[in-house]
Amino acid sequence: MIKVTNLSHYYNKDLALKDINLEIKKGEFVSIIGESGSGKSTLLSVLSTLLKPSSGEIVYEDTNYKNIKNIDNFRRENIGFIFQFHYLINYLSVKENINLANKKASKQEILELLKSLGIENLIDKYPNEISGGQRQRVAIARAMINNPKVIFADEPTGNLDSKNSLNVFELFSTLAKKGTTIIVATHDKNLALKTNITYEVKDGKLI
Amino acid sequence: MIPFALKALFANKLKTILIYLSLIFSIISIFLISSISNGIISMYSSMLKSDGDIIITQSNISDTFFSNVNINLIQKINKIPDVIESSALIVGASPVEKLPIVAIYGATQNRFKNYKLELGNYPEQNEVIVGKSIYEQLNNKNEIQIANKSFKISGVFKSEIGFENGGVVLPITHAAEIFNKSASMIMVNTNLNSNLENIINEIKKLDTQIDAKSTQNFVDNYNQFKIIKTSSNVISLIAFCMGLLGITSLMSITINQRKSEFGIKRALGISTAEIVYSIMIESFILGVFSFISAFIISNIVLYFIKNASSLQGYVNGEISNELAFYIFVASIFMAIIGSIIPALNASKTDPVELIQGNKI
């Protein structure tokens, strides 16, 4: 699904990632753990095409990152994002927030997706009318609406209590079983135990 | 796209209102300065156009107020083939009662018919007729003093032209004594389809000290109109730039506060062009609503200006369809150009900042 070879990244002259090699298969639930500043968020940014690597190769199925002509389209069609903060747009309803990622998604499709996440009653609500856990589920729905091949989540439980955190990881596990590759950056080693594979990043290197 | 843009505007009410007000004030300024200057030009040119096809003034004079033409030329001009009639006018100004400046027109007898009487008769010796607007402001409605000379008010006329409606008309002989000149200008009526150029050449041969032009040519090249037009354009341009800067700075503040919104859009694969376009739509909507509001407010302001007795009807703005169209285009242009830089900045929001845990 994603094959990374000799990946390095620099911010100006500061080394952030060094000689990363890894392979993630379709439907795997992967966690990347590490201390704050270890380079795990940079690795997530590079893997998710948000950041162009300084050197090395990243291949998504059969597509080399270097050969992607329209990165926006590639991202829209293949990748879903979930952030620590939900980043829902407050003036848009839940449905409209999800439509941001896919304008063509019908209300019925969105309703079915929300149903699978147990929040179908929120479709017409606004972000400030729902709880933190519900907002993160809406953010997950937004990441899923395009049926992405891979979902990247950066500290997705950072603002949630332990019960909601566990729920989110169970949801990721279910998605992975259905074939969506999930890559999560987290500092919570207990939650990382719920994933199939864990990579630890320290000083920009995989250990 | 439009419902989303409207929601974004309503979500940022305070900034939207500030941008809206900034645009409205700029557009109103452009409307008022353009319409008032057009009104002044239109009033004076209507006055001249109603008087004939050719206008004769003293040559090398920048303003008709300073022109002095020999009135006796009228007899010679009337003998030129295709000339129907000629009339003369003296244009001056004088204080009348408490009013500091009132337009005074000395006219030949054959011009009196241009002033539609509402009351009384056309003036004889030592008599004047006064415009309705000035008549209403006079304390003594029977007699007025011009340059220490008393004149009986023989009638009251009404004119759509503010300069006339707020003026006094008297026989040209009296005006000649007051302003110490023969005539400010002579207006010539000609037969329909006559060759104006030939007639103008014939008139010029009569006196080397005069300048003769077709009325249209005179209006198009009158220096005072050019000065008014240029001043109006410069002030309009300043108002436009103020609006442009206003919208750019306020939009930049708004966009800066919405950075996480644009960051998430970028992360979701929404292109930079789409983000720029969405902000342009918001600006376009603001431009349209600001224009409509400014159009309505400007008309109300112009109505009050037109009817303000203290202005004697001399300030009379008019918003033509053409002017409204140009200002509409300028308003939309201002709104869109003003939002380009903030929109480009928004489209360049780096979604990596979201993933690195900063709530940008």
Q: What is the pLDDT of residues B201-242, one digit of tens each?
A: 999 999 999 999 998 888 888 878 888 889 999 999 999 999
- Closest to A134 (Cα-Cα) out of A82, A89, A86, A96: A86
Asked if B82 contacts B194 with a C-beta cutoff of 8 angstroms, the reply is yes
User: What is this model's ipTM?
Assistant: 0.83
pLDDT digits (tens, 9 = 90+) for B117-159: 999 999 999 999 999 989 988 999 999 999 889 999 999 999 8
Q: Is residue B220 part of a domain?
A: no
- Residue A138 lies inside a defined structural domain of this protein: yes
Does residue B11 belong to the interface with chain A, where contact is any CB pair within 8 Å?
yes
CA distance B281 to B273: 12
Could you give the dihedral angle defined by the CA atoms of residues A15, A21, A27 and A29, in that order, rounded to the nearest 10 degrees?
-50
pLDDT band at B357 (very low <50, low <70, confident <90, very high): low
Strand pairing of A197-202 and A205-206?
antiparallel
| Domain identity same for B261 and B327 | yes
B360 falls within a domain: no
* Same domain? B277 vs B303: yes
Q: Which of B128, B125, B122 is nearest to B140 (CA)?
A: B128
Does A12 fall in a domain? no
Residues sharing a CB contact under 8 Å with residue B290, sequence separation 6 or more, in sequence order: B20, B23, B24, B27, B331, B335
Q: Indicate the number of domains in chain A.
A: 1
Tell whether B218 is covered by a domain: no
Of B8, B268, B352, the CB nearest to A100: B268
The predicted-structure confidence for B148-201, as pLDDT tens digits, reads as follows 899 999 999 998 888 888 899 999 999 999 999 999 999 999 988 889 999 999
Answer yes or no: is A30 within a domain. yes
Among the partner residues A51, A72, A90, nearest to B269 by beta-carbon distance = A72
Inter-chain CB proximity B269 and A77 less than 8 Å = yes
The candidate with the shortest Cα–Cα distance to B359, out of B252, B265, B256, B260, is: B260
Portion of chain A with pLDDT greater than 90, in percent: 55
Same domain, B246 and B332: yes
Distance CA B287, CA B293 (A): 10
Are B35 and B165 in the same domain?
no
The pLDDT value given to residue B358: 52
| pLDDT for the residue numbered B360 | 45
Determine whether B223 is exposed, middle or buried from the number of CB atoms within 10 Å of its CB (0-12, 13-18, 19+): exposed
Query: How many domains are there within chain B?
Result: 2
pLDDT of res. A158: 80
Residue A178 lies in a domain: yes
Kindly state whether residue A15 falls inside one of the protein's structural domains: no
In a domain, residue B50? The reply is no
The secondary structure element, H or E, covering residue A63 is strand A63-64
Domain that holds residue B278: 2-44+225-355
The domain containing residue A152 runs over which residues?
A: 26-52+68-202
The answer to whether residues B161 and B242 belong to one domain is no
**Structure tokens, B42:** 């239109």
What's residue B359's pLDDT?
46
- Domain presence at residue A160: yes
Domain with residue A132: its CATH number is: 3.40.50.300
**Smallest CA–CA distance from A75 into chain B, residue:** B269
From A71, A89, A79, A98, select the one nearest B271 (Cα to Cα). Answer: A71
Q: Which residues of B touch A101 (CB under 8 A)?
A: 268-269
How many inter-chain contacts (A to B, CB under 8 Å) are there?
70
Residue B87 inside a domain? The answer is yes
Residue of chain B nearest A151, judged by CA positions: B268
On whether residue B182 sits in a domain, the answer given is yes
The CA distance from A101 to B109, in Å, is: 81
Search chain B and give the residue with CA nearest A50: B352
**Strand partners of residue B87:** B187
Q: What is the pLDDT of residues A19-35, one digit of tens each?
A: 999 999 999 999 999 98
Q: Is B259 part of the contact surface with chain A (CB cutoff 8 Å)?
A: no
Chain A: nearest CA to B232, how far in angstroms? 42
Among candidate residues B198, B143, B192, B208, the one with its CA nearest the CA of residue B170: B143
- Domain closes at, from B208, B240, B262: B208
- Token couple for B263: 């960051």
Helices (H), chain A: 40-47, 71-78, 94-101, 107-116, 132-144, 162-177, 189-192
B202 and B271 in a common domain = no
Between B355 and A167, name the one with better pLDDT: A167
Q: Do B267 and A100 touch (CB under 8 A)?
A: no
Measured in angstroms, the CA of B17 and the nearest CA of chain A are apart by 17
Q: Yes or no: say if B234 and B89 are a contact pair by the CB < 8 Å rule.
A: no
> A147 — contact with chain B (CB < 8 Å)?
no
Share of chain B above pLDDT 90, in %: 62
Confidence of residue B51 (pLDDT cuts 50, 70, 90): low
Shortest CB distance from A44 goes to which of B260, B271, B355?
B355
Instruction: State mean pLDDT over A95-106.
Output: 92
Chain segment A39-64, per-residue pLDDT in tens: 888 899 999 998 899 999 999 988 89
